[in-house]
């Protein structure tokens, strides 16, 4: 019985010593060190995957704990940025190569067209490469300037929106001029050229009043 009591007292003393050590100043330091090591390991692993120094972020996690982890998650991912930059560089390289190839094809096509034109010129006995010949061909062709309203003499319609809206036409441009001079139409009268033209007020057509006053 005395041996059992003695053994029990020894266990109680050992437990008291453990509790004393656990509650002492060294226990708090050990706990902080353990937490720092955990955060340091986490920061090192994440930093390695994001293209940053694992050793440097291990020590930052060791001393700053969760603050270092938050900063690491917020700052840009260098590895992802590097991959994006490399992808853009490859795309730009392919684009430049494609542009150079297209330019080469265009130059070759232009050269072939020039050769065919030379053969054509020899057959006709002319030189279309000179500016004089080109201007002569342009003069001999159809006129490029658009006709003025007077040339479309029988394609004009007009209407008055005062009261009941009613359109009239087709009439000649000379008829429009006579109506204008007799004040039967004014700047608010809408006119259009052809059946599919757009109705516009005379005042909104640049230069139309001057033509009517000629």
> 132 is written with which tokens?
């004089």
Q: In the 8-state DSSP scheme, what is residue 150?
A: G
pTM, to two decimals = 0.39
Distance CA 92, CA 89 (A): 5
Coil, strand or helix: which one is 196?
coil
Measure the CA dihedral 165/170/171/173, to 10°.
100
| C-beta atoms surrounding 58 within 10 Å | 21
Q: Which of 79, 78, 72 is nearest to 40 (CA)?
A: 72
Which pLDDT tens digit goes with each residue over 59-94?
Answer: 999 999 999 999 999 999 988 888 888 888 887 787
pLDDT tens digit string along 130-150? 544 444 444 444 444 444 444
Q: Which of 4-8, 63-67, 122-126, 138-142 has the highest mean pLDDT?
A: 63-67
């Amino acid at each position: 019985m005395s041996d059992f009591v003695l053994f029990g007292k020894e266990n109680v003393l050992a437990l008291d010593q453990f509790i004393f050590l656990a509650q002492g100043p060294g226990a708090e330091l050990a706990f902080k060190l353990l937490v720092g090591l955990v955060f340091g390991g986490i920061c090192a692993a994440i930093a390695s995957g994001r293209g940053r120094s694992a050793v440097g972020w291990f020590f930052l996690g060791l001393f700053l704990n969760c603050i270092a982890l938050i900063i690491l998650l917020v700052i840009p991912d260098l590895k992802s940025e590097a991959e994006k930059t490399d992808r853009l560089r490859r795309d730009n390289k392919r684009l430049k190569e494609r542009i150079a190839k297209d330019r080469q094809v265009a130059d070759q096509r232009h050269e072939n067209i020039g050769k065919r034109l030379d053969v054509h010129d020899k057959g006709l006995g002319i030189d279309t490469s000179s500016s004089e010949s080109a201007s002569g061909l342009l003069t001999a062709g159809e006129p490029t300037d658009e006709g003025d309203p007077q040339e479309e003499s029988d394609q004009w319609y007009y209407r008055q929106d005062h009261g009941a809206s009613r359109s009239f036409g087709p009439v000649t441009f000379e008829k429009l001029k006579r109506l204008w001079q007799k004040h039967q139409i004014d700047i608010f009268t809408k006119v259009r050229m052809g059946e599919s033209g757009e109705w516009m007020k005379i005042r909104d057509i640049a230069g139309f009043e001057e033509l009517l006053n000629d």
